[in-house]
Copies of this chain bind each other. A is one copy, B any other.
Amino acid sequence: MLKFNIKSYLFNNKKKNKNYIKNIINDIYNYGDLSLIYYIKKIDGIYLNNINNIIIKKNIMKKSYFILNKNKKKILKELYIRLKNFHNYNYFNSWQINKKYIYGQKFISIDNICIYVPGGLIPYQSSIFMNSIPSIIYKPKKILMITPIKNGIISNLILSISYICNIKEIIFSGGVHTLSSIVYGTNYIKKCEKICGPGNYYITESKKILFGNIGIDMLAGPSELIILTDKYLNPNILLFDFYSQLEHDKNSLTILLCNNKKFLNHLYYYIYKNLNFQKNKKNIFFALNNSCLIFSNIKNSIEYINFFSSEHLMLCIKNANKIIKFIKNCGTIFINYKTSIAYGDYCSGPSHVIPTNKSCRYISSLNVEQFYKKISLIKNLKNLNLSLLSSYISKKENFFCHSYSSILRK
């Protein structure tokens, strides 16, 4: 196993504490808009006298979409359609069965969805697509988007994408304070039923704390990638998949498995050699601490993959199809040499909001399911058997009123 000898870096996570988050949540809960304004000043350094100043409505997005040049419109539309097509295959419908007695499930969309779009100097355009498009089948009454802005400059592109993705309202402020105002509601900000989308450590922690007051999609952590490769792919191509995963942020990681030592050593050399020429080398540099190259045969690699349960998995090997059936735990699989991880992040179809930190063992990446709920329906026509059954079991559980109420219905 080849580790990268870069001086270990103390993660901020260790310093971060939950009480800080809880205090913010409590303040928002108690003082609403007032404390929201306070925290926006304190944390984002923006002075507001009115929350409405950071809320942008649909009509403004619409305008900025129409002044967008034709070519860009075309690209965005195509992206939209590609992603839409994928999620359309997840269409499930309400159903009802009329037998001796009637039962069924009513599929119904969740009312108000809030999507959290992280961002550095600008919000990530792709995250707007990836968070909102799975809702196209079960359209929520309202999609609200919250996103942090560092420099206060709002690009035309962001607004246009939001318009295409049918977002009703954008609040240009991120962080725990905005999130919790979505949960409890304020005079200016309407309550939401569910929050989707990844965020930093603070967002994830507060999502966990707030879960129960609001629905959440998943608890997202730093991004992960496992690459399983053989010697036939050009290391110079692989190199950039490796880098592109690490440039996300300092905590992201890539693990590369290969059954060829020579190839690994090549790659190892290239990774150091080209590091300096990368624009995001700072992130890559730190993220290399979490990454490694491992020499192992296919069989062990599969075991490792299922154990590690990573967010992304690239199968850059011959007849990758053959081993898919052995993969149990993984978010998204990229099959064959031609599939770059970037395709999955941006345009190929499935959402790039994928469970991390081993949680793909029990949860799926963001999809249509997250946007509807099922209401069960039961309607009894005269059916003696039903009442006998329920009265039998209920007596066993010492619930005598249950038993009696079902007998009365004979």
> A338 is contacted by which of B382, B391, B400, B404 (Cβ under 8 Å)?
B382
Instruction: Kindly identify, within residues 354 to 410 of chain A, every residue whose CB is under 8 Å from any CB belonging to chain B.
Output: 354, 357, 359-365, 367, 369, 373-382, 385-387, 389-394, 396-406, 408-409
The CA-CA distance from A391 to B403 in the complex, in Å, is: 65
Chain B residue nearest to A338 (CB atoms) is B380
Q: CB distance A208 to B215 under 8 Å? A: no
Residue of B nearest to A313 (CB): B375
Interface contact A405-B340, CB-CB below 8 Å: yes
Separation of A120 and B397 alpha carbons in the complex (Å) = 9
Contact A340 B380 (CB under 8 A): yes
On chain B, the residues within 8 Å of A236 by CB distance are 408
**Which of the candidate stretches A59-67, A143-151, A255-263, A322-330 sits at the interface with the other chain?**
A322-330
Given contacts A247-B402, A332-B378, A401-B247, contact A345 B394 (CB under 8 A): yes
**Which B residues are CB-close (under 8 A) to A296?**
none
Of A5-13, A24-32, A101-109, A167-175, the segment with at least 4 beta carbons within 8 Å of chain B is A101-109
Contact assessment for B157 and A396 in the assembled complex, using a CB-CB cutoff below 8 Å: yes
A362 vs B357: C-alpha distance when bound (angstroms): 24
Beta-carbon contacts of A12-39 to B below 8 Å, as 1s and 0s?
0000000000000000000000000000
Contact flag A376-B365 (CB < 8 Å), given A348-B101, A394-B345: yes
Name the distance in Å between A173's Cβ and chain B's nearest Cβ.
Answer: 20
Copies held by the complex: 2
A379's partner among B110, B328, B336 (CB-CB below 8 A) is B336
A331 at the binding interface (Cβ < 8 Å): yes
User: Measured between alpha carbons, how far is A193 from B89 in the docked complex, in Å?
Assistant: 27
Contacts of A403 in B (CB 8 A): 342
Task: Say whether B279 contacts A398, CB under 8 Å.
Answer: yes
A79: CB under 8 A from chain B? yes
Give min CB distance, A109 to chain B, whole Å: 9
* Contact of A361 with B110 in the complex, beta carbons under 8 Å: yes
Say if the beta carbon of A278 comes within 8 Å of chain B: yes
From the candidates B278, B362, B364, B405, name the one contacting A244 in the complex (CB within 8 A): B405
Confirm or deny: A188 has a beta carbon within 8 angstroms of a beta carbon on chain B.
Answer: no
Interface size on A, residues (CB 8 A): 113
Provide the main secondary structure of the chain A interface: mixed
* Alpha-carbon distance A363/B365, docked complex (angstroms): 16
Q: What are 23 A-B contacts defined by CB distance under 8 Å? A: A86-B103, A89-B105, A90-B105, A103-B348, A105-B367, A125-B397, A193-B361, A244-B401, A244-B404, A278-B401, A333-B375, A336-B380, A338-B381, A339-B379, A340-B387, A340-B390, A342-B390, A342-B394, A346-B389, A346-B394, A360-B373, A364-B374, A369-B369
Is A405 within 8 A of B335, CB to CB? Answer: no
Kindly state whether residue A241 has any CB partner on chain B within 8 Å: yes
Is B378 in contact with A373, judged by CB distance below 8 angstroms? no
| A185: interface (CB < 8 Å) | no
Q: Is A46 positioned at the interface, with any CB of B under 8 Å from its CB?
A: no
Asked whether B78 lies within 8 Å of A389 as measured between CB atoms, the reply is yes
Distance A86 CA – B101 CA, assembled complex (angstroms): 12
Instruction: Knowing that A125-B396, A349-B378 touch, tell me 9 more A-B residue pairs with CB under 8 angstroms.
Output: A79-B393, A108-B328, A211-B211, A211-B219, A244-B402, A333-B375, A334-B379, A339-B380, A343-B386
Chain B residue at minimal CB-CB distance from A369: B369
